[in-house]
Amino acid sequence: MPTEQSTLPIPVADRIDRFSYAIRNIVAEARAVQARGMSVRYMNIGDPVAAGFDTPPHMVEAAERAMRAGHNGYLPSAGLLEAREAVAAEYSGRGVSVSADRVLITDGTSEGIDIALNALVNEGDEVLVPSPTYPLYTAVLAKINATPRYYRTDPERGWCPDLDHLRSLITPRTRVLVVIDPNNPTGAIYPTAVRRELIDLTEKHNLTILADEVYSDLGFDGAVPLLGSMQPDAPIISFSSLSKAYLAPGWRVGWMVVGATPRLDNVLAAVMKLADGRLCSPGPMQFAVTAALTGDRTHQHDFRRALAERGAITAQALNAIPGMRCVPPRAAFYAMPMVSLPPGRTDEDYVLALLRETGILCVYGSGFGMPPELGSFRVVFLANPRELSQIYADIATFTGAYLERAG
């Protein structure tokens, strides 16, 4: 006799309810719009390759050469030595003197964030994250069951951190300060004085800074100094990758650099221990790290110029819309406009209505930890200028009608 089959659904772990990543979650809604026959213009994801910016050929050749030469086995979990050396040389050349043994090659910045938070944060600990934030930080904290404490960044001051607010959030359980500079989603670059204060604060309270520097090469006026260059022996862990400034997000290769202070030695050991558990990052692409960091970078000059032009179009077009304001971005390919919503409406209401009526897909600010009533949303301005201008014209028409209807 076969045993009677259960029809009960298999339950998932509690952490799934806590976990959220709005940038991709909202795509399900876009698919529904597409299924109704409307074409969707994707302004939700920061992928320069999808927008037509090509990976530099010498990087592709390096990865291909590695595959053809048979480098298809596992690599050391810390990464290919020559890639680690190239990262250490890059950081040292930019004022953060560090040896290759403090570099971990990761599956993109994303894995670095996950590993570092797991190495540093216990269940119930607190982590200071900016509002708005890149949402992976809070998503990882949800898995760890630690608590994000959002410090305000202020659109009136170019989206710089509100240092008094930040200070007021520090408790005995605070372990880490997340600094995303240049910033996604705001396009901000922090002034030197603010960076100095952030470092001083962490020294005073014995915190570690996680410095997300994945956009450090994409300041519109040139590369932005690494945070650690202000104080190379500060407890700073820096992350970056080939995804953005080297135009290879699908390769999933990046790096983590653990600052050269003995205070971080235990953390470095913990990071390497966790890295052992996932064997290694994609092998052939690690050969391209050396090619990227030691080879031709003229593509970055062209890319920065293209981004500066698109950023200016974005601020100009969005600030011309009644009821909307947008701090001009200074780096990367994101801006965070804010629309004055009628009482009772949320940023998500606005973004979903925009999607359903125009097919334009942005991400609502509350997905980045912003208060929903502030009407913020993120635009990714990688599309070509003509397409962007059309999108902003459509956003203007939609917003006029939306606010009129609601008012």
Ligand X SMILES: Cc1ncc(COP(=O)(O)O)c(C=O)c1O
Identify which of residues 130 and 283 has a Cβ nearer to ligand X in the complex: 130
Return d(Cα 45, Cα 43) in angstroms, integer: 6
**Sole window of 82-90, 105-113, 170-178, 354-362 interacting with ligand X (rule: CB under 6 A):** 105-113
114 binds ligand X (CB under 6 A): no
Which of 131, 174, 184, 314 is in the footprint of ligand X by CB under 6 A?
184
108 binds ligand X (CB under 6 A): yes
The DSSP symbol for 72 reads -
Non-local (6+) Cβ contacts of 100 within 8 A are 81, 84, 85, 87, 88
CB of 184 to ligand X, least distance (A): 4
359 binds ligand X (CB under 6 A): no
- Picking from 97, 135, 31, the residue whose alpha carbon sits closest to that of residue 367 is 135
Identify which of residues 364 and 402 has a Cβ nearer to ligand X in the complex: 364
Return d(Cα 190, Cα 10) in angstroms, integer: 47
254 binds ligand X (CB under 6 A): yes
109 binds ligand X (CB under 6 A): yes
Which of 214, 288, 306, 351 is in the footprint of ligand X by CB under 6 A?
214
Which of 33, 43, 46, 202 is in the footprint of ligand X by CB under 6 A?
46
Q: Total number of residues binding ligand X (CB under 6 A)?
A: 13
Query: How many residues would you count in the chain?
Result: 407
* CB count in 10 Å sphere of residue 365: 28
134 binds ligand X (CB under 6 A): yes
> Is the four-CA dihedral 139, 142, 148, 150 of positive or negative sign?
positive
- Picking from 308, 369, 348, the residue whose alpha carbon sits closest to that of residue 151 is 369
**Sole window of 76-84, 104-112, 188-196, 310-318 interacting with ligand X (rule: CB under 6 A):** 104-112
CB of 108 to ligand X, least distance (A): 3
Identify which of residues 212 and 347 has a Cβ nearer to ligand X in the complex: 212
- Picking from 108, 42, 32, 141, the residue whose alpha carbon sits closest to that of residue 369 is 141
Phi, psi (degrees; rounded to nearest 5) at 150? -80, 120
329 close to 312: Cβ distance less than 8 angstroms: no
268 close to 135: Cβ distance less than 8 angstroms: no
Helix (DSSP H) and strand (DSSP E) numbers for the chain: 14, 15
Which of 235, 249, 283, 311 is in the footprint of ligand X by CB under 6 A?
249
235 binds ligand X (CB under 6 A): no
* Site track for ligand X across 15-34, x = CB under 6 A: --------------------
Which residue ranges make up the site for ligand X (CB under 6 A)? 46, 108-110, 134, 180, 184, 212, 214, 241, 243, 249, 254
